[in-house]
């Protein structure tokens, strides 16, 4: 099939919209001969016209020519819209590829779709790699965080290419083999879920500083810039300062005051929560973040609530010591953020168990240090924690994080309590604290629930003092029987 004169591309990218074109330019600029293809040829032509000088591209109009331009074993990355379009491209390419070739889906696929596709292509001898790619447009061009799944065999030849174009932190590539079949897309989904929680928590911190301490957006931008010099240093804190600093050219108001307060979403946060529910793992921080976006976007209902004028507390928060308050919010944000990550890693552990993936959590935290949206200095601490104790049980059990939460908890509690008293919605802060208190409780009120379930549905219960399963004859003489 291959003609050795043209079949020299080391990597191919099909789907040249925002992500694909930037990824292709990244490959080419790192010295890889890069084959490019798009359903409509105009995007391919535009890439050559605007950026052909970035490196050695081989452009093809047809999928057959595209495949023929690749050196064997062929390595193709699909960067098209997730769902049906990805299936259409896979079907077309799988007819053209040969056993041993590697087909990568770099889009935001559902991990279950990836598992299905991998199984189908394995039967044809084609390695299918579902790979999370984070970092948006800029990451794709300059170095994303890459989370490839698929076979270890495929990673042996694909991995070095992906590692070269990924972000690097301290000389270490932000790319590692995650696990077989859908593992890469699974952890990308969790990454996005954590991203939702992180963004929500930062937004709540902003709201507290504004509604609680009365700071204006420019002053809050200063606070975030300051926070970004310490243990909260992260891309999201950094860009929040930039957003808050921005003044609207048209009105002269802070931009944040003229942006409609309805948060959009593309669905990966919802997938995370659905998956966690299926696996029975609490991800309350991420769930609250998804719900908060939902509430923000419920325009009609929010407008109706304004008309009804639902009552709030009679007096606002009277913050006496602004500096102390700002520090309390910082600590509450940090503690809540640790809970969100702890919950995210819990889902990864449960997914790994369910689907038989051997995921190295420390290596995963390491590849999230650069290139992706949740990149943050404290991911180093997460890597260290998992390296020291791979089977931690919870991130909160690592001495470093236990110490942070112990240092933060008084502030965390007073911020959540103060917000509740003064009517500032902090679902992320509050649910994270409730989760933390639930996790550390020796006894939970679940015993009452078990009693209720046994009462109305004879669902039985276990006892703390002896083996077995029991039922109380609630509508009879209320004696206990073995169930
Ligand atoms: P889009 O998700 O907007 O998809 C556009 C691309 O899909 C175009 O190349 C288009 O070809 C192609 N396409 C469609 Br639509 N239907 C097709 C079909 N039936 N057959 C072949 N090609 C088809 O592109 P994107 O924003 O660059 O994202 C690409 C992938 O990366 C997505 O899965 C996305 O979720 C993921 N992702 C995006 C970001 C981001 O920041 N945008 C970040 C991380 C991951 P055409 O030009 O002929 O219409």
Angle, helices 322-355/268-279, rounded to nearest 10 degrees: 60
The helix (H) or strand (E) run that includes residue 14 is strand 11-14
Residue 239 and residue 207: Cα distance in Å, rounded?
Answer: 16
Residue nearest to atom 21 of ligand 1 (CA): 39
- Tally the residues of the chain: 483
Q: 17 C-alpha to center of ligand 1: Å?
A: 6
Residue 5 confidence (pLDDT): 62
What ranges in 172-298 are assigned the alpha helix state H? 183-207, 217-227, 235-245, 255-258, 268-279, 284-296
Residue nearest to atom 1 of ligand 1 (CA): 81
Each residue of 149-185: pLDDT tens digit? 999 999 999 999 999 999 999 999 999 999 999 999 9
Catalytic site residues?
188, 195
Q: 257 C-alpha to center of ligand 1: Å?
A: 32
Please work out whether the CB of residue 14 comes within 6 Å of at least one atom of ligand 1: no
Residue nearest to atom 7 of ligand 1 (CA): 80
Q: What are the backbone angles phi and psi of residue 157, rounded to the nearest 5°?
A: -100, -30
Tell which atom from ligand 1 comes closest to the C-alpha of 18.
27
Which residue of 14, 16, 19 sits with most ligand 1 atoms within 8 Å of its CB, as the best mutation to test the pocket?
Answer: 19
Please work out whether the CB of residue 46 comes within 6 Å of at least one atom of ligand 1: no
Please work out whether the CB of residue 267 comes within 6 Å of at least one atom of ligand 1: no
CB 177, CB 152: distance < 8 Å: yes
Please work out whether the CB of residue 107 comes within 6 Å of at least one atom of ligand 1: yes
Residue nearest to atom 15 of ligand 1 (CA): 81
Residue 1 confidence (pLDDT): 39
Please work out whether the CB of residue 15 comes within 6 Å of at least one atom of ligand 1: yes
Please work out whether the CB of residue 39 comes within 6 Å of at least one atom of ligand 1: yes
Please work out whether the CB of residue 122 comes within 6 Å of at least one atom of ligand 1: no
CA distances (Å), 423 to each of 94, 207, 311, 417, in order? 57, 11, 10, 10
Q: If the chain, 483 residues long, is cut into consecutive pieces of 10 residues, what is the mean pLDDT of each piece?
A: 69 98 98 98 98 97 97 97 96 97 96 97 97 94 97 96 97 97 98 97 98 97 98 97 98 98 94 98 98 98 95 92 97 98 98 97 96 93 95 96 98 98 97 98 98 98 98 98 96
Query: In 3D, which of 186, 375, 204 has the Cα closest to residue 281?
Result: 186
Each residue of 218-263: pLDDT tens digit? 999 999 999 999 999 999 999 999 999 999 999 999 999 999 999 9
Tell which atom from ligand 1 comes closest to the C-alpha of 137.
41
Query: In 3D, which of 378, 398, 382 has the Cα closest to residue 348?
Result: 382
């Amino acid at each position: 099939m291959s003609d050795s004169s043209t079949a020299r591309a080391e990597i191919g990218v099909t789907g040249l919209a925002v992500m694909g074109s930037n990824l292709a330019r990244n490959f080419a600029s790192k010295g890889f001969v890069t084959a490019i293809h798009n359903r409509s040829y105009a995007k391919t032509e535009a890439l050559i016209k605007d950026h052909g000088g970035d490196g050695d591209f081989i452009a093809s109009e047809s999928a057959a020519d595209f495949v023929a331009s690749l050196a064997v074993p062929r390595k193709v990355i699909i960067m098209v819209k997730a769902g049906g379009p990805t299936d259409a491209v896979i079907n077309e390419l799988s007819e053209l590829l040969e056993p041993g070739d590697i087909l990568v889906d770099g889009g935001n696929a559902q991990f279950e779709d990836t598992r299905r596709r991998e199984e189908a292509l394995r039967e044809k001898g084609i390695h299918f790699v579902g790979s999370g790619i984070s970092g948006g447009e800029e990451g794709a061009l300059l170095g994303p965080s890459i989370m490839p799944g698929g076979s270890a065999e495929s990673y042996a030849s694909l991995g070095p290419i992906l590692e070269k174009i990924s972000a690097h932190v301290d000389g270490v590539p932000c790319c590692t083999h995650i696990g077989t079949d859908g593992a890469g897309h699974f952890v990308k989904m969790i990454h996005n879920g954590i991203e939702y929680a992180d963004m929500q928590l930062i937004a709540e911190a902003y709201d507290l500083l504004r509604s609680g301490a009365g700071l204006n957006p420019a002053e809050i931008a200063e606070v975030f810039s300051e926070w970004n010099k310490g243990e909260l240093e992260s891309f999201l804190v950094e860009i929040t300062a930039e957003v808050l600093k921005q003044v609207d050219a048209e009105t002269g108001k802070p931009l944040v005051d003229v942006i409609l307060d309805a948060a959009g979403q593309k669905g990966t946060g919802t997938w995370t929560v659905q998956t966690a529910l299926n696996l029975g793992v609490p991800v309350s921080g991420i769930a609250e973040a998804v719900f908060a976006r939902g509430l923000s976007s419920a325009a009609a209902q929010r407008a109706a609530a304004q008309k009804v004028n639902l009552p709030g507390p009679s007096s606002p928060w009277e913050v006496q010591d602004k500096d102390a308050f700002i520090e309390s919010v910082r600590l509450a944000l940090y503690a809540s953020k640790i809970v969100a990550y702890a919950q995210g890693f819990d889902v990864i552990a449960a997914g790994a168990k369910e689907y038989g993936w051997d995921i190295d959590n420390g290596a995963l935290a390491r590849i999230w240090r650069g290139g992706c949206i949740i990149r943050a200095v404290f991911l180093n601490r997460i890597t260290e924690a998992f390296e020291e104790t791979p089977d931690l049980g919870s991130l909160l059990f690592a001495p470093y994080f236990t110490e942070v939460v112990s240092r933060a908890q008084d502030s965390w509690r007073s911020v959540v309590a103060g917000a509740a008293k003064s009517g500032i919605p902090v679902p992320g802060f509050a649910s994270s604290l409730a989760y933390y208190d639930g996790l550390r409780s020796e006894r939970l009120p679940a015993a009452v629930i078990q009693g209720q379930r046994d009462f109305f549905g004879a669902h039985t219960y276990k006892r703390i003092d002896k083996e077995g399963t029991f039922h109380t004859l609630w509508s009879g003489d209320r004696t206990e029987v073995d169930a």
